[in-house]
Structure 1
Amino acid sequence: MASDVILELRDVEAGYGKAALVLRGLSVSVPRGTVVCLVGPNGAGKSTVLKVASGLLKPRAGAILLGGEDVTGRGPQALLREGLSHVLQGHSVFPEMTVEENVMLGGYTVRDQSSLAERAEFVRSVFPVVAEKWSTVAGLLSGGQQKQVEFARALMVTPDVVLLDEPSMGLDPKRTTTVFEQVARMRDAGVAVLLVEQNARRALEMADIGCVLDLGRVFATGPARELLADPKLSDLYLGGRPATA
């Protein structure tokens, strides 16, 4: 149902400067309370989708709808106020500040102090590591723990949808698993997630919906488990089928 869709990119064309288009008529829908994972080869346009969705890059054609409202052309700050958070690629914590200070920066637009305190308690409950390390200097945390701080900060504004760009980048397998578990926690808290991830197979195992991009277009989309089970897609885009015992 259309009313279940919180974020929609409709027939979007986008590129950088005067260069050729990166996205060529791309359409993606993110239902409420789901994880939608974008996968595909390098250069397919995955991160560009997130930049367009968050207002960092204005599309040349097409529309972006948030909660059914056309928000095409609005900037990141306006979209943040309207319920969309974007966690960028790489680490963005302030290493000399405490976890508490980093997280509370996410609520800088919240004026009501009681609401701010309630939100801080909520993100502490969603991410136990954040609560445990609340007074710790963020630079002392592992990469996976820092990523959870970024997630918590993004949830301080009560977003309806969070965009995640390569959250497992630079992490070892154990910490990658932890990060994906935290993405699932966000979904369980009622937040929709649009995720870009190079670790395609692992991400699709956790996601609800998969969307395979190629050359700026949607090549295939559907339930994530079905995409994983498709041998053609597996060979072309997921690094081949996993070995069996």
Structure 2
Amino acid sequence: MSYLFAPPAVVSVPVVGETQAFPVHRIYCVGRNYEEHAKEMGFTGREPPFFFLKPADALVVVKDGETGSIPYPSQTKNFHHEIELVVAIGKGGKNIAAADAMQHIYGYAVGLDMTRRDLQNDMKKQGRPWCIGKAFDHSAPIGPITPAALAGDVENAEIYVQVGGQDRQRSNVNKLIWNIAETIEHLSAAWELQPGDLIYTGTPEGVAAVVSGDTMVGEVAGLGQLKVHVA
């Protein structure tokens, strides 16, 4: 088949210890999945999980040991970092039970859900979708994927991000309101998951603004560091 113009290249993420990369299908994100973050956003309690999507080409892939770069985005004056554990799906399925969910995971990575907070908040006030605040270009930096067998105790891993050497966010994955398996159960009830899907599982408290010239250093214990500079 011929095309009117060149189709986009496959978006992929390198895999620790492998020569083959992980091809990306979709990016799902979980909203308000740490209690203290929910509180700082003005909410409380264990509300049912909800999801939003980012396009695959919003990924900024940062290789191990390198520092990635993202531009300060247009139309915002309040550009926030959100450090997250990312789950990489290797086996698809629909209506996956939590008890079976871990069998569908290929591996894990460190990610940043970058947010144009002022635009997101404005859309919330108007009752409109917040795509402009979440799904923009370069909004999803990610480090290499570590296969699940090499990732250690991810469910009890420390998670943090620093800016300028100072802690901004620091917590533990065990504080997720909806844990990894429960998240997959809820998500797969709404969409049929596919190999290549990425799930950004939520961010802890401490979200804050970055400006041009800042460098973010994020980590989930056992998965390495993710370094990203705001150009």
Question: Which has more radius of gyration?
Answer: 1
Q: TM-score, normalised by structure 1?
A: 0.24
Higher RCO, Cα 8 Å, sep 6+: 2
Structure whose residues are more often helix by fraction: 1
Q: TM-score, normalised by structure 2?
A: 0.25
Structure whose residues are more often strand by fraction: 2
